[in-house]
Structure 1
Amino acid sequence: MAKLIYVTNVSLDGFIEDEGGGINWFPTGDEVFAFHTELLRSVGMFLYGRRLYEAMAVWETDAALAARSDLTADFASAWQAAGKVVYSTTLAAVSTAGTRLERRFDPAAVRELKATSGRDLMVGGANLAAQAFQAGLVDECLLVVLPVVLGGGKPGLPTGVRADLELLDERRFRNGVVQLRYRLLGQ
């Protein structure tokens, strides 16, 4: 059975966006970018909320991004290779190939995806991930912790959900970013 892995970049104090909704505080660097590419390559399907999907779709709809370097071309290729499900009540249509639009999050349908997929699934977007956590569907949580304290914003992890975790892996990058991968106990 495939695992559902929640992946997100978070500030040291646990936020994925600053108080204004901005994400321009992410440090850049080839090492972290290459890590994200390998992570994408390992996944068979992305489950996205609308905002994250719209932010990521440019890796298919804007050819100039991939043309910037070998690293960005590799990332775009890895992103485009996986299937995608976008959960949105407001999005009229999807703009990328291999993408399905769903109007609501259906835990039973995600359980079926996990049972039938030959590769792991990645859930992205804090609101969508919170629904997956509440339904008991998340198997692993991969946090990319960035060396910044925002002091407020949108939390990266759901509130009101208790989860006991086992650390599976950690990695420190030269620019101060730390990757932490946990398994949810009892899943």
Structure 2
Amino acid sequence: MRKLTYAMNVTLDGYTAAPGDDIGWSGDDEPGSPPSDELFQWWSDRVAAPGLSLYGRRLWDGMSSTWPTADQQPGATPAVIEFARRWRDRPKIVFSSTIDKVAWNSRLVSGDAVAEITRLKAEDGDPMDIVGATLAGAAMKAGLIDEYVLVTVPVLVGGGTPYFTTLDNWVNLALVETRAFPGGRLMTRYEKRR
């Protein structure tokens, strides 16, 4: 059975995006600035790890508008070039009923996301990452997420897209790792207790 991990940057008050899908709060020094080299490398290493990424449409729109050609932009740093290559190479599934095609080593699923994720989890294979709060929320409600990884940014935005969805039952978790990054960011990784 495959392991499913939900990993995203999150504000201290629990949001993956501020109102209007604004993620400008995720920079290190000022809104809109890039993350530290250390944190960017950590995310890049996650993208390079064997496995499959499951995307919701909104996050797919943001990632696919930047990363397919980021390595070809003037002034692209070695880290950006590496991340762009890794992102393109990683197998991806995009869950959406509003788009009709995807590219960059991806396939589109327009049917029941929970049924497809359940099917994928039952297979033997490399781990999977789920990215996008709405898609992760559906998987969370269905009890499909095995691991939660939060990179908490010390900012309060007061509203937006929550990292966690409303659940019908408690989910008991065990803290398995923490790591501090520059700019006051803190990665915490939790596994679901069996």
Q: TM-score normalized by structure 2? A: 0.88
Q: Aligned AA for 1:70?
A: P
* Cα distance change, pair 154–108 in 1 and its aligned pair in 2 (3 A): closer
Report the Cα offset of residue 155 of structure 1.
0.6
- The whole-number CA distance in structure 1 between the counterparts of 2:60 and 2:179 is 26
Residue 181 of structure 1 corresponds to: 189
Task: Answer yes or no: is 1:9 the counterpart of 2:17.
Answer: no
* Structure 1, gaps ≥5 residues long: none
Supply the distance in 1 between the matched residues of 2:13 and 2:50 (Cα, whole angstroms). Answer: 27
**2: CA distance between counterparts of 1:133 and 1:111?**
12
Q: 8 Å contact 1:43–1:122 — kept in the other structure?
A: no
> Paired residue for 1:112, among 109, 119, 141?
119
Structure 1 partner of 2:139? 132
Aligned mates of 1:17, 1:6 — CA distance in 2: 15
Which runs of 5 or more residues in structure 2 are unaligned? 28-34
RMSD of aligned residue pairs (Cα, Å): 1.8
User: Residues 105, 47 of structure 1: CA spacing in aligned structure 2 closer, same or farther, 3 A cutoff?
Assistant: farther
8 Å contact 1:6–1:123 — kept in the other structure?
yes
Q: How many pairs are equivalent?
A: 185
Amino acid at match of 1:109: E
For 1:79-158, list aligned pairs within 5 A: 79-94=87-102, 96-158=103-165
Matches within 5 A, 1:151-170: 151-161=158-168, 162-170=170-178
1:53 aligns to what?
60
2:32 aligns to what?
A: none
CA distance 1:47–1:66, shift in 2 (3 Å): farther
Where do 4+ consecutive residues of structure 1 move more than 4 Å? none
| Residue 19 of structure 1: how far off its partner (Å) | 2.0
User: Cα–Cα, structure 1 residues 61 and 68, in superposed 2: closer, same or farther, change >3 Å?
Assistant: closer
**Deviation at residue 111 of structure 1 after TM alignment:** 2.9
Verify the 8 A CA contact 2:71 2:85 in the aligned structure 1.
no
Is the contact made by 1:42 and 1:119 (CA closer than 8 Å) also made in structure 2? no
Amino acid in structure 2 at the alignment position of 1:44: G
Tell me which amino acid in the other structure corresponds to 1:184: K
For each residue in 1:71-115, what CA deviation from the matched residue of structure 2 results, as whole angstroms up to 9, or x when unmatched? 011111221121111111111211x23211111334343233223
The SS at the match of 1:152 is: coil
Go from structure 1 to structure 2 and tell me whether the alpha carbon gap of 1:65 and 1:53 turns closer, same or farther (over 3 Å shift): farther
TM-score, length of structure 1 as denominator length: 0.91
CA distance in 2, matches of 1:51, 1:108: 20
1:40 to 47, 62, 68: 47
